[in-house]
């Protein structure tokens, strides 16, 4: 169903066109003068404008000129009598899509409208594709069978059924953007565009223009009208990558879009409405940032409607072999190199490594190994120089911990975690990072120990020992 604007000063013609186009399942807005119609076109998105050429006041050609001056690229179809055909041809040189000569029948107008809609769709699709190429967004497959990854995969399917805002959290390199794309592809918006904005890569002024668009002359360098990502993603999904990096003044404008589904382009006072599902990603603890006034608390709650936490690679070590096979296989298909194979010791080394760069670091390692060890059997000696840190095993994590006779594993774990928490003066994020566990995992353990009464008991025991 398309949204069509009909303009004609003759009531009989307006009513006839409205009935004809409505019967073709289009949504029609009819006006008796071009000035009133132009006001609405500035505020609402139309797919086609069908206007009479000769009207009192602002005529069809004058309206076309005004639309082009404002940067409104809606296809315009002119209706004209035989005597004004030369004028209609001149109007086409100004950018009109086509003209129909009065009198015309329903089939003729249906054909012209259909052609205009196809043209509109092609222009929009080309703009979206251009933006996606600029983003270098790549659709990839989700890989994971580990206990840590299964809840995430299940949550994607549940979240996709809603149009509510999603907040995806996790360390850098865990694949948050991939999760966002999986949510979009599993949703009812899968056939609509999904666009991405890296909020950390742009200055506040450029980011505002990128999100909401700008009018020609809105600022130095704005030599043409530019539609923002919200406008281009209308009906689809917009991914706000690293949303924590948005400056406070812009956070207020983003909050308004999420609440009211409306915005203004930079340099414009015209309010525009959109239907966009927002997915945001961050590697920050936004709840903590909100508590410290580094991020708007109301915006955090507006984003955190449907949260998804992506586990780091060290918490899903069972997936490392699957990911290795996937990355190496993709490189093999792309570059036709001989596939390297990993010895059991090499695989064990990779599974014991802490992976501070997560899945992204593993992918980079596969790229290097596929070049340097193509067709060879890869041993630990070949891998060690490619890793960015020491191999951290479970035994190494507990190194220096003094055990008591009869101490069970859960007691040792609690002692290690509380000792590390004290070392970082109660800072949970630093504690979780040092221990190689997720922040949520740490929080759940501390909560359980408090409920069991073992949290303070352990701290008192350690105080007595000191």
CATH number at residue 90: 3.40.50.2300
Structural domain contains residue 28:
yes
Query: Shortest CA distance to 179 belongs to which of 325, 306, 300, 326?
Result: 306
Handedness of CA 422, 424, 429, 431 (dihedral sign): negative
Please, how many CA atoms are within 13 Å of residue 349, restricted to the half-sphere of its CB?
Answer: 18
- 188 & 299 share domain: yes
Task: For residue 378, give the 3-state DSSP assignment.
Answer: strand
Query: Do the strands 166-169 and 226-227 form a parallel or antiparallel pair, or are they unpaired?
Result: unpaired
Q: What is the CATH number of the domain that holds 341?
A: 1.10.8.60
Q: Go through the chain and tell me how many residues it has.
A: 466
What pLDDT does 321 receive? Answer: 93
What pLDDT does 64 receive? Answer: 86
- 114 & 229 share domain: no
Q: What is the CATH number of the domain that holds 224?
A: 3.40.50.300
The strand pairing partners of 263, in sequence order, are: 272
- 110 & 28 share domain: yes
Angstrom distance (rounded) from CA 276 to CA 257: 9
Please report, to the nearest 10 degrees, the dihedral formed by the alpha carbons of residues 139, 140, 141, 143 taken in order.
Answer: -140
Angstrom distance (rounded) from CA 437 to CA 414: 13
- 296 & 243 share domain: yes
- 300 & 348 share domain: no
Structural domain contains residue 142:
no
Question: How buried is residue 71: exposed, middle or buried, by Cβ count under 10 Å (0-12/13-18/19+)?
Answer: middle
Gyration radius of the chain over CA positions: 30
Contact indicator for 247, 194 with CB cutoff of 8 Å: no
Angstrom distance (rounded) from CA 231 to CA 26: 21
- Where residue 153 falls (left for φ over 0; alpha for ψ -120 to 50; beta otherwise) is alpha
Structural domain contains residue 162:
yes
- 268 & 154 share domain: yes
Angstrom distance (rounded) from CA 263 to CA 84: 40
What pLDDT does 372 receive? Answer: 86
Structure letter (DSSP) for residue 461: H
Structural domain contains residue 423:
yes
- 252 & 168 share domain: yes
Q: For residue 108, which phi and psi values (nearest 5 degrees)?
A: -65, -45
- 297 & 352 share domain: no
- 94 & 185 share domain: no
Structure letter (DSSP) for residue 224: S
Joined together, the tokens standing for residue 167 give: 């907040």
Structural domain contains residue 341:
yes
Which residues of 209-264 form beta strands (DSSP E)? 213-214, 226-227, 237-241, 262-264
Structural domain contains residue 21:
yes
Angstrom distance (rounded) from CA 378 to CA 62: 72
- 175 & 278 share domain: yes
Is pTM, for the whole model, over 0.75? no
Last residue of a domain, one of 279, 309, 339: 309
Residues of the chain with pLDDT under 50: 135-139, 392-407, 458, 460-466
Last residue of a domain, one of 287, 309, 331: 309
Give residue 336's domain range: 313-386
Going from the C-alpha of 281 to that of each of 128, 178, 224, 226, 449, the distances in angstroms are 21, 11, 31, 25, 30
Structural domain contains residue 204:
yes
Residue with tokens 């490619």: 386
- 181 & 266 share domain: yes
- 156 & 221 share domain: yes
Last residue of a domain, one of 386, 414, 444: 386
Structural domain contains residue 193:
yes
Number of compact structural domains in the chain: 4
What are the tens digits of pLDDT across the range 259-291?
999 999 999 888 999 999 999 999 999 999 999
């Amino acid at each position: 169903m398309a949204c069509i604007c009909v303009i004609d000063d003759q009531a009989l013609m307006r009513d006839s066109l409205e009935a004809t186009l409505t019967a073709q399942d289009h949504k029609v807005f009819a006006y008796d003068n071009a000035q009133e119609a132009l006001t609405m076109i500035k505020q609402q998105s139309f797919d086609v404008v069908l206007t009479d050429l000769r009207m009192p006041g602002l005529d069809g050609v004058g309206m076309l000129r005004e639309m082009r001056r404002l940067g409104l690229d809606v296809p315009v179809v002119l209706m004209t009598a035989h005597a004004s055909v030369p004028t209609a041809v001149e109007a086409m040189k100004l950018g009109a899509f086509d003209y129909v000569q009065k009198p015309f029948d329903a089939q003729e107008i249906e054909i012209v409208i259909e052609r205009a809609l196809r043209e509109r769709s092609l222009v929009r699709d080309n703009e979206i594709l251009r933006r996606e190429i600029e983003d270098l967004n790549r659709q990839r497959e989700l890989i994971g069978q580990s206990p840590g990854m299964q809840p995430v995969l299940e949550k994607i399917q549940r979240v996709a059924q809603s149009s509510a805002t999603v907040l995806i959290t996790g360390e850098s390199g865990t694949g948050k953007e991939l999760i966002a794309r999986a949510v979009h592809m599993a949703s009812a918006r899968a056939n609509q565009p999904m666009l991405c904005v890296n909020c950390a890569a742009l200055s506040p002024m450029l980011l505002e223009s990128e999100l909401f668009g700008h009018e020609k002359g809105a600022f130095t360098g704005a030599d043409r009208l530019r539609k923002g990502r919200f406008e281009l993603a209308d009906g689809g999904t917009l991914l706000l990558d690293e949303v924590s990096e948005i400056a406070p003044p812009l956070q207020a404008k983003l909050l308004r879009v999420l609440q009211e589904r409306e915005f203004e382009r930079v340099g414009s006072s015209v309010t525009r409405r959109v239907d966009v599902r927002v997915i945001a990603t961050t590697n920050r603890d936004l709840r903590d940032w909100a508590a410290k006034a580094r991020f708007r608390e109301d915006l955090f709650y507006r984003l955190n409607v449907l949260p998804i936490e992506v586990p780091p690679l060290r918490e899903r070590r069972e997936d490392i072999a699957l990911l290795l096979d996937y990355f190496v296989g993709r490189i093999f298909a792309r570059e036709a190199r001989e596939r390297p194979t990993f010895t059991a010791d090499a695989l064990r080394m990779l599974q014991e490594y802490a992976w501070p760069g997560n899945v992204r670091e593993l992918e980079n390692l596969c790229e290097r190994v596929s070049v340097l060890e193509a067709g060879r059997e890869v041993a630990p000696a070949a891998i060690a120089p490619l890793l960015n840190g020491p191999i951290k095993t479970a035994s190494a994590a507990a190194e220096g911990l003094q055990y008591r006779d009869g101490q069970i594993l859960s007691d040792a774990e609690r002692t290690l975690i509380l000792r590390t928490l004290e070392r970082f003066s109660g800072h949970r994020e630093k504690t979780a990072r040092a221990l190689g566990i997720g922040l949520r995992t740490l929080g759940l353990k501390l909560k359980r120990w408090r409920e069991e009464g073992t949290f303070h008991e352990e701290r008192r025991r350690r105080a007595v020992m000191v």
